[in-house]
Amino acid sequence: MKAIQVGSIGLGSISRGVHLPGIEKSPDLSLYAICDLDPQRLQEVGERYAVPESRRFTDYRQLIACPGVEAVDISTPNDCHFPIAMEAVRAGKPYCLEKPVTMNADQARELAQATEAKGLKSMVCFSYRFKPAARFARELVQRGELGRLYHVDMQYFQAWGLPAAACKYVWRYEKRRTGSGALGDLGSHALDLCAFVTGKCVQSLVGHTGTYVKERPLLDGSGMGQVDVDDFSNYMAQMEDGISASFQITRFAFGRGNYQRMEIYGEKGALVYVLDETPDQDELYLCLGEVGRETRAFQRLPIPQRFRADQMQAFADRLLDKEDGLAADIRDGLANQRQLDAVLLSAQEGRWVQP
């Protein structure tokens, strides 16, 4: 069968690191057209993936209108997600969209409604759903191994915001381009992963956000840019079934690369999912048995092969009606965006907010 012809928009680090290699690896997808504002990047990617010049665009509307493009893959900065995904919907083309899905919940709602009204398929790149340890954790929770859940405690830590890392004023520090800082960047994944593993909804949130470095050097060397988004975001969530969850999210965690840790405590057991404690590895630890005797008896679980999954293949599987149902769609993206908005409002107003 012919591979689905994908048009990829935004050829930056996540596209070149995950999306394009994923498309190349999938027998069900082919990279048909590409788009980026940066002509040099367009040329490099075009040559690397043998996309002819006639199918390289700097205007996303032209890529979407290109008759051979059957599905649209969007990895631009956050402010472009909504207009590009809406254009794909108008053209009747399914899309794969990076997170956070939009700049706010109003946009996400409009996009979800438009997508559903046209009966189009969508996938949102909550990538950690594809970590085998997270998938195994989800299965253990759903099988009831931990019993009723009481607590989820999630950390997502990176270090590149620290002054010593000397990161310049990239779009991630500019509210009008990114929506929020560490919250939308990392906190969106943490909220989604918590919902994915527990299968439970967030009902109310209270948050605290802050910015340590208030200005950073502009990329062109012409001065300083004002940072108007959060460097860290800590929040608590009241979840369905009385689960009390807490989240710590920061780009100021010295020594951390892409570190995640989720601890889940239930009535019959506990599990710990951890990413990047051992470089790039996801791991799962479980503690079951009698409450007194098993104290501190967490054991590392071997992760069965069947939990291996690939994000871009999941997009293909969704388009071909052979998916496992575990990838996020625009409804999940909307729920997530409502939670991000709730944390920001809560941090501003100092009160609990329902998403």
Q: Is 96 in the site for ligand NAD (CB under 6 A)?
A: no
**Which residue's CB is nearer to ligand NAD, number 41 or number 151?**
41
| Closest alpha carbon to 134 in 182, 198, 183 | 198
**Which residue's CB is nearer to ligand NAD, number 286 or number 328?**
328
Radius of gyration of the chain (CA): 21
Window 198-237: contact mask with ligand NAD (x via CB under 6 A)? ----------------------------------------
**Which residue's CB is nearer to ligand NAD, number 28 or number 36?**
36
CB of 70 to ligand NAD, least distance (A): 19
CB of 119 to ligand NAD, least distance (A): 25
Residue number of the CB closest to ligand NAD reads 12
Window 13-32: contact mask with ligand NAD (x via CB under 6 A)? xxx-----------------
**Which residue's CB is nearer to ligand NAD, number 57 or number 140?**
57
- Compute, in degrees rounded to 10, the torsion defined by CA atoms 233, 281, 17, 318: -90
**Which residue's CB is nearer to ligand NAD, number 236 or number 309?**
309
Q: Is 12 in the site for ligand NAD (CB under 6 A)?
A: yes
How many of the chain's residues bind ligand NAD (CB under 6 A)? 23
Q: What is the 3-state secondary structure (H, E, C) of the chain?
A: CCCEEEEEECCCHHHHHHHHHHHHHCCCEEEEEEECCCHHHHHHHHHHCCCCHHHEECCHHHHHHCCCCCEEEECCCHHHHHHHHHHHHHCCCCEEECCCCCCCHHHHHHHHHHHHHCCCCEEECCHHHHCHHHHHHHHHHHCCCCCCEEEEEEEEECCCCCHHHCCCCCHHHCHHHHCCCHHHHHHHHHHHHHHHHHCCCEEEEEEEEECCCCEEECCCCCCEEECCCCCEEEEEEEEHHHCEEEEEEECCCCCCCCEEEEEEEECCEEEEEEECCCCCCEEEEEEECCCCCCCCCCEECCCCHHHCCCHHHHHHHHHCCCCCCCCECHHHHHHHHHHHHHHHHHHHHCCCECC
Instruction: Looking at residues 34 to 93 of the shown chain, list those that interact with ligand NAD (rule: CB under 6 A).
Output: 35-38, 41, 60, 75-78, 80
Instruction: Looking at residues 324 to 353 of the shown chain, list those that interact with ligand NAD (rule: CB under 6 A).
Output: none
CB of 10 to ligand NAD, least distance (A): 3
Residue 102, strand partner residues:
none
**Which residue's CB is nearer to ligand NAD, number 99 or number 256?**
99
Instruction: Looking at residues 121 to 180 of the shown chain, list those that interact with ligand NAD (rule: CB under 6 A).
Output: 125, 127
CB of 221 to ligand NAD, least distance (A): 18
141 vs 32: CA distance, rounded Å = 40
Of positions 6, 7, 8, 10, contacts ligand NAD by CB under 6 A:
10
Q: Is 11 in the site for ligand NAD (CB under 6 A)?
A: yes
Query: Segment contacting ligand NAD (CB under 6 A): 9-17, 211-219, 237-245, 347-355?
Result: 9-17
114 vs 116: CA distance, rounded Å = 5
CB of 14 to ligand NAD, least distance (A): 4
**Which residue's CB is nearer to ligand NAD, number 28 or number 185?**
185
Q: Where along the sequence are the contacts to ligand NAD (CB under 6 A)?
A: 9-15, 35-38, 41, 60, 75-78, 80, 98-99, 125, 127, 185
